[in-house]
Chains A and B, each alone.
Chain A
Amino acid sequence: MAPATGDAARLPGRLATRRGSRVEALLGDRRPPAALLAAGVVVGLAALLPAAYLLVLVVGDAAAALDAALSSRTAGVLARTLALTAAVTAGAIAIALPLGWLTVRTDLPARRLWATLCTLPLVIPSYVGAYLLIAALGPSGMLQDALGVERLPSIYGFAGAWLALTLFTYPLVLIPVRATLRRIDPQLEDAARAMGRRPAATFASVVVPQLWPALAAGGLLVALYVLSDFGAVSIMRFDSFTREIYTTYRSSFDRTGAAGLGAVLVVLMLALLWVSSRIRGARAVHRLGPGTIKPATPYALGRWRWPAIGLCGAVVTISLVLPVGVLVYWANKGISSGSVSVATVAALGGNSLIVAAAAAAIGAVCALVVAILAGRFPSPVSRALERFSHAGYALPGIVVALALVFFATRAVPVLYQTLAMLVFALTVHYLPLATGPIGASLAQVSPRVEEAARVLGRTPLEVFRTITVPLVRGGVLAGSALIFLHAVKELPATLLLAPIGFETLATDIWNQTQFGFYEASAIPALVLLAIAAPPLYLLSERGTVSA
């Protein structure tokens, strides 16, 4: 540091000691405003609560926890689960890439409709989806009846779990892929095509590399979802890691052992995060070139039009039409048997809506805080906060719920079992869903644009309001829509943390299916779909920056 002598005057606010340089090292070259940093720290710590809970339990009886975590059985289950995770992620990408390209870059007829339909499967809760797949494709299922076949090949196990998870999570990759495709500068592709590259080669060599960040972000969400999912794998009878955790704490009532296994999940999640951020590469994703891009001319499909429509149709049929068809069938039976009350369903729908909307709004704001810190004020601290914010998603909902039970009863009992606590739990659990789209759309906004606004005479807050917010609005909407979709169908945390008497569509479905009242569960499930459709439309349309 320069000494304070002669003409070289020192500015205030810089600590002229070694300690100062360490603070600088932590907070980076640019210091974020104190309020923003404080908000980011709050978000990061809140997201860490479930992991902290696990830590408390593990530390309480380290030997038992390690025993559970490091047993050979655990290793086997872990391997199986990782295999499923990899397979589902690959499958989701394999579906999302062509669908994304078809609905953004080609002249596929009714593109927007296809886009919305292809994104809708995200709404279907995994346990409902698995049920429906079995009802349709399983032994003594509808397809078997329809085809008149004696016995279809068994859908249970790895195959069924893979199908159930891939079909209903691929939209998590589709959404960022479409958003990125809309913002990629088509000049690169035009150049490649002008040089004689065929479209497939152009796509592979020019477009796909630019899609890596989107694939990494979406793939990460899919992988984390698979890790933490319980509904689909248990119905499909696949022995996954979460099933181990569930068995340990539910059948053996062994909290410590379960916490040990949960800690393994957290480690897995950190590893996945690391892989994903490496794939995403350097921080500067925003375009450095001058000006704004022109939208691309659509690629003419020609005789490939019908196969393309066929592909979209096939995916939509299996992952949307089929499940919805089964639901409608059951709903019909339910209505004709008179076991459903419209008023009740409406009240339930309202509850689901309130909770999910609140979690979505707050979650989007939190994700924006974290994204701004990580994007505009990069430093070890802000990067750490961004990583922490993912902590709540990799763990099963029940762990998040129990963690909050643990902390709420000790720290803020007055808030225990209030709506505020439930919304808090859902926000913590689903926050990472928003950090992806919001982070991506913030990265698309060059810091120069914000600086230009500053120099033109606006305060930082005004710049944020007039420039940053409109430009990230698409990402914020996409992020909140994603949180909304997941929060609206969430089950275990709602059961435990909602105020007594507060029922949602999801808890009602669960209630009905406990004893096999499938018909009665169909109407709430359909209402769930209806509620989720508008945010989905938003996602598929506006999941991009409006240029």
Chain B
Amino acid sequence: MLALCIAASALLAACGFDSSGSDSGPDEPEMEGITLYSGRIAAAVGGAVDAHEAEVDRDVRVRFGDTADLAATLVEEGDASPADAFFAGEPGAMPAVAEAGLLTKLPDDILELVPPRYRDPEGRWIGVTGRVRTLAYSSDLDRSELPRSPLELTDPEWEGRVGWGPPTASLHEYVTALRLRYGDDVARDWLEGMVANGAVDYPNNVAIRDAIANGEIDAGLINHYYVAQAVAAEGDDYPVELYYPPEGLGSLVLSTDVGVLEASDRKQEAFDFVRSLLSPSSQEFFTVSSKEYPLARDAEPDPSLDVPLEQIPAPGGALFDVAELQATIEMMQEAGAL
């Protein structure tokens, strides 16, 4: 019996058995298209991918996974990578992949599709959607109580009432931006202050949002779209709201990015895919489904988002440096935040 099991599995394995049980769209196109590594889950990108498949009549093969894991995989795979494009769901990963020399320069017409502050200065990757680091707060609070700057969250009145996500990449980016704008000392003081003030740790942004909704905490540093999605799903009386502190880097735009692999032998098709992600219809998909900001020029954000993107600071330049990110991690660890 054991022998049968082994034989069966060997046979199965050798055939490279491939089931596409997860594609829930309409009839899959016959011809093979590009291979995409996506750090964003199917619900978040499915619509855009399906639209592209329909447009070019090819099957896009998507490997879903954790952004950082996928980035590490790309680095290990090197030239042998089967991926043609990489869609990062969190900041920080794409610059790392770019610095490893794995990305190819995108054609100018693609680069022109978004404002320069939402793409790699060297043109190796481009932002697709934007999420805003900002403050979410419980509806029980009055807006006048909210701080004018996140730096004030270290004040005694906020002790134990604020949540943040030290393991999340978006917080790391935020702290890096803080360091670059105000210097290491301010950033370190803020970190140590938050820790001393009993800021509650959460493993991800969803947990922060839910904690505010449950009344565990009163406010949290979060990505805007989690709240927007919940409001869209549960209704306007959802007990969490968004607030963009006007001062002291109160909010920050972070992007989800896409790049094309140097190792790819379907570069043209991959470029087409990137173009389609930035097309009005796909941008609208992102806007409606996940409540993120579309980054393509002239694209309209969802009406529920009342703060225009242009008013929110966006990083650039050194923020994309992996070395800066590593320095931030070290500082967070030393401050006891991580």
Contacts and interface: CB of A to CB of B under 8 A. Distances in A.
A contacting B, Cβ–Cβ less than 8 Å: yes
Interface residues of A, number: 56
A139 B201 CA distance: 13
A365 B13 CA distance: 17
Interface string A436-479: 00000000000000000000000000000000000000001000
Given A252-B329, A495-B65, A496-B69, A409 B43 contact: no
Interface stretch (A173-181, A205-213, A410-418): A410-418
Interface stretch (A371-379, A500-508, A535-543): A500-508
Contacts of A410: 80
B41 A354 contact: no
A304 interface: no
B23 A234 contact: no
Given A247-B338, A253-B93, A515 B65 contact: no
A327 interface: no
B95 to A, nearest CB: 9
Interface stretch (B71-79, B104-112, B124-132): B71-79
Nearest to B290: A515
B265 to A, nearest CB: 14
A253 B5 contact: no
B21 A361 contact: no
Contacts of B209: 516
B18 interface: yes
A220 B72 CA distance: 30
A254 interface: yes
A140 B215 contact: yes
Given A358-B13, A419-B13, A495-B66, A247 B82 contact: no
A463 B37 CA distance: 51
A67 B214 CA distance: 42
Contacts of B77: 405, 409
Contacts of B78: 409
A255 to B, nearest CB: 7
A492 B69 contact: yes
Contacts of A344: 21-22, 24
A365 B2 contact: yes
Interface in A269-321: none
Contact of A255 (B13, B14, B35, B75): B75
Contacts of A249: 68, 72
Nearest to A346: B21
A418 B64 contact: no
B9 A357 contact: yes
Interface in B191-216: 201-203, 206, 209-211, 214-216
A113 interface: no
B92 A423 contact: no
Interface string A476-499: 100000000000000010011001
Given A418-B16, A500-B35, A358 B9 contact: yes
Given A500-B35, A515-B206, A402 B18 contact: no
Interface in B319-338: 322, 325-326, 329, 333, 338
Interface residues of B, number: 64
B211 to A, nearest CB: 8
B81 interface: yes
B96 A253 contact: yes
A418 B10 CA distance: 12
A351 interface: yes
B169 A251 contact: yes
A108 interface: no
Contact of A254 (B18, B76, B93, B326): B326
A518 to B, nearest CB: 10
B336 to A, nearest CB: 10
B82 A251 contact: no
B61 to A, nearest CB: 4
Nearest to A347: B21
A139 B216 CA distance: 7
Interface string A216-243: 0000000000000000001101000001
B63 A500 contact: yes
B62 interface: yes
B52 interface: no
B9 A496 contact: no
B144 interface: no
Nearest to B210: A516
Given A252-B329, A413-B80, A237 B203 contact: yes
B19 interface: yes
A503 B19 CA distance: 8
A362 interface: yes
Nearest to B6: A361
Interface string B204-238: 00100111001110000000000001000000000
Contacts of B71: 253
Contacts of A243: 167
B12 interface: yes
Contacts of A66: none
Contacts of A503: 21-22
A496 B73 contact: yes
Contacts of B16: 418-420, 499
Contact of B13 (A73, A420, A476, A511): A420
Nearest to A420: B13
Given A139-B216, A251-B92, A507 B64 contact: yes
A255 B81 CA distance: 18
A251 B172 contact: yes
B47 to A, nearest CB: 15
B42 interface: yes
B13 A253 contact: no
B311 interface: no
B216 A511 contact: no
Given A344-B21, A501-B20, A405 B2 contact: no
8 contacts: A251-B325, A361-B5, A401-B69, A500-B18, A501-B21, A502-B18, A511-B43, A516-B206
Interface of B: 2, 5-6, 9, 12-24, 35, 41-44, 61-66, 68-73, 75-78, 80-82, 92-93, 96, 167, 169, 172, 201-203, 206, 209-211, 214-216, 229, 322, 325-326, 329, 333, 338
Given A250-B169, A496-B73, 13 more contacts: A235-B203, A243-B167, A247-B338, A253-B326, A357-B9, A358-B13, A417-B63, A420-B13, A476-B2, A495-B66, A501-B62, A502-B18, A511-B64
Interface of A: 73, 139-140, 234-235, 237, 243, 247-255, 344, 347-348, 351, 354, 357-358, 361-362, 364-365, 398, 401-402, 405-406, 409-410, 413, 416-420, 423, 476, 492, 495-496, 499-503, 507-508, 511, 514-516
What 8 A-B pairs come out closest when comparing CB atoms? A358-B9, A250-B68, A420-B13, A501-B20, A409-B80, A253-B96, A347-B21, A140-B214
